[in-house]
Chain A
Amino acid sequence: TSWDVVFQNIYTHYLKETTQRTKLIDVFLAFLVVVGALQFAYCVLAGNYPFNAFLSGFSATVGQFVLAISLRIQTATTDKNEFPSVSPERAFADFIVCSLILHFFCINFIN
C-alpha cells in the first residue's frame, strides 16, 4: 500500500513540477528505452550473431539516453546551482556535439 502512495506522489509531483520542454525530453527518453528494450529482446530471442551490430545499435540507444538525461539535468530549472558555467543553450550545444560523436562511433562500429 505504501508503494501505491509513493508512486501516486511521484506522478503528481512530476505532472505539477515538470515544464513542457522537459516533458518533451522525457518522451524521447521513453522512446529510447522502448527501442533499446526491443533490440535487447530481439538479441535474446534471435541470438547475437553480428555482435558488433547489436552492440552499436544498443549502445547508441544507451548513449543517447544518458546524453538526453544529461541535457534534461542541465536544462531543468532546479539544478541551476550545480552547473554555474553551463547555460541551457550551452547544454544543448554540448548535447549536439556529443550525439554527433556517438553516432559517428556507432556507424563506424556497425560496419
Chain B
Amino acid sequence: MAVENQGTALDAVNSHSTRTLLRTVILFLIAGAAIASRLFSVIRFESIIHEFDPWFNFRATKYLVANGFYKFWDWFDDRTWHPLGRVTGGTLYPGLMVTSGVIYHALKALTVPVDIRNICVLLAPAFSGLTAFASYLLTNEMTTSPSAGLLAAVFMGIAPGYISRSVAGSYDNEAIAIFLLVFTFYLWIKALKLGSMLWGAVCALFYGYMVSSWGGYAFITCLLPMHALVLICMGRYSTRLYVSYTTWYALGTLASMQIPFVGFLPVKTSEHMPALGIFGFLQFIGFIQYVRSAISGKQFQTFLATLVIATFGIGLTGLVALTSLGYIAPWGGRFYSLWDTSYAKIHIPIIASVSEHQPTAWPAFFFDLSMLIWLFPAGVYMCFNDLKDEHVFIVVYALFGSYFAGVMVRLMLTLTPVVCVAAAIAASQILDSYLSVETPTEAEAEKSAEAAAKKPGKAGSLRGSEKPVIGVFSNVSKLSVVSAMTIYLLMFVTHCTWVTSNAYSSPSVVLASRMPDGSQHIIDDYREAYQWLRQNTKEDAKIMSWWDYGYQIGGMADRPTLVDNNTWNNTHIATVGKAMSSREEVSYPIMRQHEVDYVLVVFGGLLGYSGDDINKFLWMVRIAEGIWPDEVKERNFFTERGEYRVDEGATETMKNSLMYKLSYYNFHTMFPPGQAADRVRNVRLPSQGPVLNTLEEAFTSENWIIRVYKVKDLDNVGRDHAAVAAFERGQKKKKAAKKAGPRALRVD
C-alpha cells in the first residue's frame, strides 16, 4: 500500500512540466556559476581591462560608442604605427566592438546607463553563460540521454580551458567567439539532421557573425567541409547533406565577405578552398545521385564511381595548379606553422616569439581540463558506437581539435567545447546505466537476450555491443560507481575553482604580491608610468617601445606609438628592434627619423619581475637581424662561451646597446658601491653604470619597472651628443685631437 502511494507520488513529480522546470532552474544555476567563477579578478582588484590585446579592443569600442558606427567602419587611426598609421576599420574583426556597442545602447535605451568600460569588462562572463547553453543544445543533438546536455553545460561553464580566455576583464575576441563557435556547430548539426534550408541559413548567419568577431572562423570553414567529406566517403551522402551544406556555404561565404578584413579571402586563399571544393563536389555527387535514380545497370555504377574519383582528382589538381600559378594565395604563416611546426621558429621569429604559440605540454591538458581529459576519449568511443551523421562530426572535431591543441597552447580553447561534449556523453552514459532504480529480474534478462539473439546483428558492430543492454543487477556496484562519479564531479568543481582563482584571475596590469603578514601589496608601476605620460607629455608625443606595450600605451597613456601588438608590419618592428639593439650613434638617427619623443622600457631588475625587456631582448635582436643581417648580429650579444650575460662579463655590443643602457642607467646608484645586483638575472652588475648621451631620463616608476627617457634635441652648436656629454662632464678634449687630424675640407 505504502509502496503504491509512493509510486504515484513519484509519478506526479516526474511529469513533463517538472522536468522542464528543473532543466530551466539548472541551466540558470549553471549560467550563474559560469559568471560567478569569472569574477575573481574584479572582486580582488578592480574592474579593469587585462592583458595587452583587450586594450585595443577597448579603445576601438570607445571610439565606436563616441563616434557612431559609420565613422568606426572608416576609422583611420593615426595614433598607432607612426608614421604609417593603421586603417583600423579594415584591419579588425568588428564583431566584439559592435556587440558591446549594441549592449551599451540597449541598456541606455532601457534607462540603465552603464559605463562602457564595465560592459567591456563583463562581456566575457555574460557570454560564457550563453556558451554553456549552446553546448547544452549541441550535446542534446548527439544523444537521447536527458542528462548529457546538462552535464556538458556544467563542464563548459566552468572548464578552466575556456575560463582562461574569458575571465572578467579579458575583453578579447575569444570572449564571444567561443559562444558563436559552439552555437554555429549546433545550428549545423540541426540543419544536417533536418535537411532544412532555414536552419542552414541561420547557421550561415551565425557563421557570418563568427567571421566578424574572430580569426578562428577558419576552423569552422575547414571543419564543416571535412565533416561533409567524411560523410561522403562513408557512403552517407544524402539530400539532407546537400541542402544543408550548400545553403550554409552559399549564404555563409557571402556573409563572410561583407567583413572588410576578410573581403575576397574566401575565394582567394588556401584556408577557404576545402569549403569551395566540397561545394563543387557536392553538386557533382548530387547530379550523379539523380542520374543513378533515373537509370539502372550495374556496369554503369562502376562507371560512375570512376567518374566521381576522376572529378575529385581533377578538382584537386586544378586547385594545386591555381595555387602554384599564384591565383590562390598559399597558406598564411600562422596557419602554415600549424602543419610544419618548426616553420615559424626558422622563418618568422615574430610568430615564434609569442608564448601562446608554443606546443602544449601534457600537464597543461590535465590542468585545463581535469577529469574531462580522460572522459573525452571514452565519449568519442561512444560516438563510434552509434555512428550517426552528427557523431561523425564529434569524431572529426575531436581529431582535429586535439591535433591543433597539441601544437599550439592557444588552441586549447577550440578543443575545450568538444572535450566537454564528449565527456558529458560518457559521464551521462555511466550515470544513466548505474543510476537506474529498477533492478532487472532474471526472466526479463533472458527474454531480452533471446530477442537480441533472434535479431540479425549488425555486420559492422563490435562484438561487445551485440549483447543486449539489460541493466545492472547489483546494488553495491550501482552505489559504488555512482558515488565514485559524484566524488569525481565534485572534485572537478573544486579543481576548476582553484585553477581559476589561482592561475587565470590575475590582471597583468597590476602585479600583486604578499606582505609577510599575508596582506596584499599591489605594484602598480604600469599605470603610474602611463598616467605620467598622459599628464606630462605633449598630446602628440611619440612613444617608442617594444611592440608588446603598444596597445597599453595607446589605451592608457593615450599617446601615439611606433609599433603595437597588431604585428602587421614586420619591417617597422624590426626598425624598433634595431634601434633598441644598436649603439646610440646608430639608434639616435633612427629615432630622429621617426620623430620619437620618448622611449619606454620595462625593467624588472629591482623587483625580480621576469617579463622585462632584457629577457625579451634577444627576440628584438633576432627580428632586427632578419632585416639587417649585416648590422645586427645575434652572435655579438653572447660571450665567447655562448652565454647571455649582463654583468661584468657582458660583451661590448651588449653593453653599448641602447636597451642595456636604458635598463641599467643609474641603477647602481640604488645600491652601496659595488653592490648593484639584478634580481631577475641574479648577477652582480658592474659598479660603473652605462653612460647615456642622446637621451635623458624623464621618468622612472616607483619600483623601477617602467623607465621613460626623453630623446634629446640636436645640439645647438652642431656637435654630436657624445662630444657634448663629454664636455659637460668636464672631460677635456684629448691633446691628440688638437693635432692636425685628417679633417676633410669644408664643402659649400
A14 in the interface (beta carbon within 8 A): yes
Beta-carbon contact of A73 and B242 below 8 Å:
yes
B590 in the interface (beta carbon within 8 A): no
- Shortest beta-carbon distance, A30 to chain B, in Å? 14
Beta-carbon contact of A6 and B300 below 8 Å:
yes
B294 in the interface (beta carbon within 8 A): yes
- Shortest beta-carbon distance, B298 to chain A, in Å? 13
- Shortest beta-carbon distance, B94 to chain A, in Å? 15
B519 in the interface (beta carbon within 8 A): no
Question: How distant is the Cα of A95 from the Cα of B205 in the complex, in angstroms?
Answer: 15
Contact among B197, B246, B286 with A95 in the assembled complex (CB-CB below 8 Å): B197
Contact among B205, B242, B267, B291 with A70 in the assembled complex (CB-CB below 8 Å): B242
Beta-carbon contact of A70 and B253 below 8 Å:
no
Find residues 37-84 in chain A having any chain B CB closer than 8 Å to their own CB. Answer: 51-52, 55-56, 59, 62-63, 66-67, 69-71, 73-74, 78-79, 82-83
Beta-carbon contact of A70 and B254 below 8 Å:
no
Indicate whether A10 sits within 8 Å of B294 (C-beta atoms), given known contacts A85-B194, A98-B198, A106-B254.
yes
Beta-carbon contact of B250 and A94 below 8 Å:
no
Beta-carbon contact of B250 and A59 below 8 Å:
yes
B636 in the interface (beta carbon within 8 A): no
Indicate whether A10 sits within 8 Å of B250 (C-beta atoms), given known contacts A70-B197, A94-B197, A108-B258.
no
Beta-carbon contact of B247 and A10 below 8 Å:
no
B293 in the interface (beta carbon within 8 A): yes
B195 in the interface (beta carbon within 8 A): yes
Find residues 279-329 in chain B having any chain A CB closer than 8 Å to their own CB. Answer: 283, 286, 291, 293-295, 300
- Shortest beta-carbon distance, A66 to chain B, in Å? 4
Find residues 450-493 in chain B having any chain A CB closer than 8 Å to their own CB. Answer: none
Contact among A101, A106, A108, A109 with B205 in the assembled complex (CB-CB below 8 Å): A101
Q: In the complex, which residue of chain A has the Cβ closest to the Cβ of B253?
A: A59
Category for how many chain B residues contact A: 20 to 34
- Shortest beta-carbon distance, A11 to chain B, in Å? 9
| Chain B residues whose C-beta falls within 8 Å of the C-beta of A52 in the assembled complex | 264
Beta-carbon contact of B240 and A83 below 8 Å:
yes
Interface string of A84-111 (1 = CB under 8 A from B): 0110000101110110011001101100
| Chain B residues whose C-beta falls within 8 Å of the C-beta of A9 in the assembled complex | 294-295
Beta-carbon contact of A109 and B247 below 8 Å:
no
| Chain B residues whose C-beta falls within 8 Å of the C-beta of A21 in the assembled complex | none
Question: How distant is the Cα of A74 from the Cα of B291 in the complex, in angstroms?
Answer: 17
Question: How distant is the Cα of A83 from the Cα of B191 in the complex, in angstroms?
Answer: 11
| Chain B residues whose C-beta falls within 8 Å of the C-beta of A13 in the assembled complex | 294-295
Contact among B198, B240, B254, B283 with A97 in the assembled complex (CB-CB below 8 Å): B198
| Chain B residues whose C-beta falls within 8 Å of the C-beta of A70 in the assembled complex | 197, 242-243, 246-247
Beta-carbon contact of B198 and A94 below 8 Å:
yes
- Shortest beta-carbon distance, A43 to chain B, in Å? 12
B342 in the interface (beta carbon within 8 A): no
Majority SS at the chain B contact face: helix
Beta-carbon contact of B294 and A86 below 8 Å:
no
Indicate whether A59 sits within 8 Å of B295 (C-beta atoms), given known contacts A74-B243, A86-B196, A94-B197.
no
Beta-carbon contact of A55 and B198 below 8 Å:
no
Question: How distant is the Cα of A22 from the Cα of B624 in the complex, in angstroms?
Answer: 66
Q: In the complex, which residue of chain B has the Cβ closest to the Cβ of A13?
A: B294
Indicate whether A109 sits within 8 Å of B196 (C-beta atoms), given known contacts A9-B295, A73-B239.
no
| Chain A residues whose C-beta falls within 8 Å of the C-beta of B197 in the assembled complex | 67, 70-71, 74, 91, 94-95, 97-98
- Shortest beta-carbon distance, A102 to chain B, in Å? 6
Q: In the complex, which residue of chain A has the Cβ closest to the Cβ of B199?
A: A94
B688 in the interface (beta carbon within 8 A): no
Beta-carbon contact of A10 and B242 below 8 Å:
no
Beta-carbon contact of B286 and A86 below 8 Å:
no
Beta-carbon contact of B291 and A10 below 8 Å:
yes
Beta-carbon contact of B251 and A102 below 8 Å:
yes
| Chain B residues whose C-beta falls within 8 Å of the C-beta of A67 in the assembled complex | 197, 246-247, 250
Beta-carbon contact of A82 and B254 below 8 Å:
no
Indicate whether A79 sits within 8 Å of B239 (C-beta atoms), given known contacts A55-B257, A86-B195, A97-B198.
yes
| Chain A residues whose C-beta falls within 8 Å of the C-beta of B205 in the assembled complex | 101
- Shortest beta-carbon distance, A10 to chain B, in Å? 5
B682 in the interface (beta carbon within 8 A): no
B18 in the interface (beta carbon within 8 A): no
| Chain B residues whose C-beta falls within 8 Å of the C-beta of A109 in the assembled complex | 254, 257-258
Contact among B195, B198, B240, B254 with A63 in the assembled complex (CB-CB below 8 Å): B254
Contact among A51, A86, A97 with B194 in the assembled complex (CB-CB below 8 Å): A86
Question: How distant is the Cα of A16 from the Cα of B246 in the complex, in angstroms?
Answer: 28
Beta-carbon contact of A102 and B254 below 8 Å:
yes
Beta-carbon contact of A94 and B196 below 8 Å:
yes
Q: In the complex, which residue of chain A has the Cβ closest to the Cβ of B208?
A: A105
Indicate whether A85 sits within 8 Å of B196 (C-beta atoms), given known contacts A101-B251, A105-B258, A108-B258.
yes
Contact among A59, A69, A102 with B286 in the assembled complex (CB-CB below 8 Å): A69
- Interface of B toward A, CB cutoff 8 Å: 194-198, 200-201, 204-205, 238-240, 242-243, 246-247, 249-251, 253-255, 257-258, 264, 267, 283, 286, 291, 293-295, 300
- What are 7 A-to-B residue pairs whose CB atoms are below 8 Å? A9-B295, A17-B294, A63-B254, A66-B247, A73-B242, A73-B243, A105-B258
Since A17-B294, A97-B197, A101-B204 are in contact, a sample of 9 more A-B pairs with Cβ atoms closer than 8 Å, ordered by chain A residue number, is A56-B254, A59-B254, A62-B250, A73-B239, A78-B293, A83-B194, A94-B201, A98-B251, A101-B201
- Interface of A toward B, CB cutoff 8 Å: 6, 9-10, 13-14, 17, 51-52, 55-56, 59, 62-63, 66-67, 69-71, 73-74, 78-79, 82-83, 85-86, 91, 93-95, 97-98, 101-102, 105-106, 108-109
